[in-house]
Structure 1
């Protein structure tokens, strides 16, 4: 088994290559599909149908956005965490879905990437759902680990034989430092997931935003100490900004009245 790291639209894509099949470690975004097609067909010189499984680690645009289209193109199986409800359920979920797409577009703009269509369904239709510790069908050398916190359904993928661990957005690299992602909906679960990864001590640790990273004791302690203690979400960020704006307007009004 060989891992290929591809420079995607706004994140690194990881493709596990076998003699007779390919496994995409995350669902990518719609904008990543041309990169994947070119790499599989021209670099690996294999048919698109070699891609037989795609894991969706969580529902954000750069991790789930390409899954349905890839299944249409390749016939691959979509694999996700076993949950009873959709992440983007209800009116709040629909608004959060739009916000997450806008955030992905903002990241692309910051990276000076060309504008691409990032729209995708907010309801995933997986073929296979897995729980913590279960192997990936047809790729039994990989195990899914539940590492929630960023959302309620984050999966990490572990290859015990080679001690490779892909943790998606459990941590992100910003200015050559590992930090907590945004959002973090479940702070206590997030810290527990960090501890689990640190104790596992993989030889190779892969993240979606930063490539291969090293989780030393110092880095781990920094992540734990700087991780949010209360939920850091879109709505809380908006509320904080709204309060600041109202406070500033009130201050101006008081100043004028004097």
Structure 2
């Protein structure tokens, strides 16, 4: 039988699925979350860290991939991620984006009154398992993979069909009681399709990385879909837009 634990991570929820003979970490967490996981698994569950037989990385942001490699190296945990070509943080732009995302993570932690911690992690990932859409998780076939791209090009959600709940990572966030799209959204068309796809599953409950376990009404789904951007919304695009305005302002003043 499945027991699903929700822990308070550095800036996000940590979902750990407990089975009699194994553990499943639904996302790669933040590097700063390793101590939290070790304390909970060893001291609360009285289990071995090597019982984590699979870690899923839903996408490569610091609070979803940051602890995966370290846990894999330290305890032999296998890692699974979407079967998408290439690395998310590729090239010079990718390295800069990787650094920016870590700085944003620290900024969010500060907003939550959390102390600054060492959160550096590798910008590349070579998982043990490459996941395809609609497939079951290796060793955890009661969980079905759904590609829910948009936030990045490799986002996935995990549907536990028996309990009819789905972990959607950053597909949405809940702010002041309202469900809104995440920031950034690199692929708006894919993002809208992802929302429609998950809505159509009509699941009992949705597990948020930034929020909690929620049940969305038809109206809330429609409002969220209506808020989906039609153009990419990224920090890079924001910087370029602001820079262009500054340059145009200088040109006009000349």
Please tell me the TM-score bracket, short chain as reference: over 0.9
Q: Render the CA deviation track for 1:153-188: whole Å, top value 9, x for unaligned.
A: 101001111111000000011222211001101111
Matched residue count: 253
Deviation (angstroms), 1:247: 5.3
Q: Distance in 2 between matches of 1:249 and 1:44?
A: 62
Deviation (angstroms), 1:5: 0.4
Corresponding position of 1:171 = 172
Q: TM-score, normalised by structure 1?
A: 0.94
Deviation (angstroms), 1:246: 4.0
Q: Distance in 1 between matches of 2:227 and 2:242?
A: 21
Q: Distance in 2 between matches of 1:245 and 1:187?
A: 27
Q: What stretches of structure 2 of length at least 5 have no aligned partner?
A: none
SS for the counterpart of 1:22 is strand
Corresponding position of 2:35 = 34
Q: Distance in 1 between matches of 2:41 and 2:226?
A: 41
Corresponding position of 1:153 = 154
Q: Distance in 1 between matches of 2:110 and 2:243?
A: 25
1:91 maps onto 2:92 in alignment: yes
Q: Distance in 2 between matches of 1:91 and 1:249?
A: 29
Q: Distance in 2 between matches of 1:101 and 1:174?
A: 22
1:123 maps onto 2:118 in alignment: no
Q: TM-score, normalised by structure 2?
A: 0.96
Q: Distance in 1 between matches of 2:250 and 2:35?
A: 48
Alignment of 1:5-16 (within 5 A): 5-16=6-17
Instruction: Give yes or no for contact 1:81–1:153 (8 Å, CA) kept in 2.
Output: yes
Instruction: Give yes or no for contact 1:147–1:154 (8 Å, CA) kept in 2.
Output: yes
Q: Distance in 1 between matches of 2:108 and 2:224?
A: 22
Alignment of 1:1-258 (within 5 A): 1-246=2-247, 253=253
Instruction: Give yes or no for contact 2:7–2:15 (8 Å, CA) kept in 1.
Output: yes
Runs of 4+ in 1 over 6 A off after TM superposition: none
Instruction: Give yes or no for contact 2:205–2:216 (8 Å, CA) kept in 1.
Output: no
Instruction: Give yes or no for contact 1:61–1:120 (8 Å, CA) kept in 2.
Output: yes
Q: Render the CA deviation track for 1:60-79: whole Å, top value 9, x for unaligned.
A: 00000100001122211000
Q: What stretches of structure 1 of length at least 5 have no aligned partner?
A: none
SS for the counterpart of 2:229 is coil
Deviation (angstroms), 1:140: 1.1
Instruction: Give yes or no for contact 1:52–1:74 (8 Å, CA) kept in 2.
Output: no
Instruction: Give yes or no for contact 1:48–1:73 (8 Å, CA) kept in 2.
Output: no
Q: Render the CA deviation track for 1:16-56: whole Å, top value 9, x for unaligned.
A: 00001100000001011111100001110111111111000
SS for the counterpart of 1:202 is coil
Q: Distance in 1 between matches of 2:23 and 2:228?
A: 35
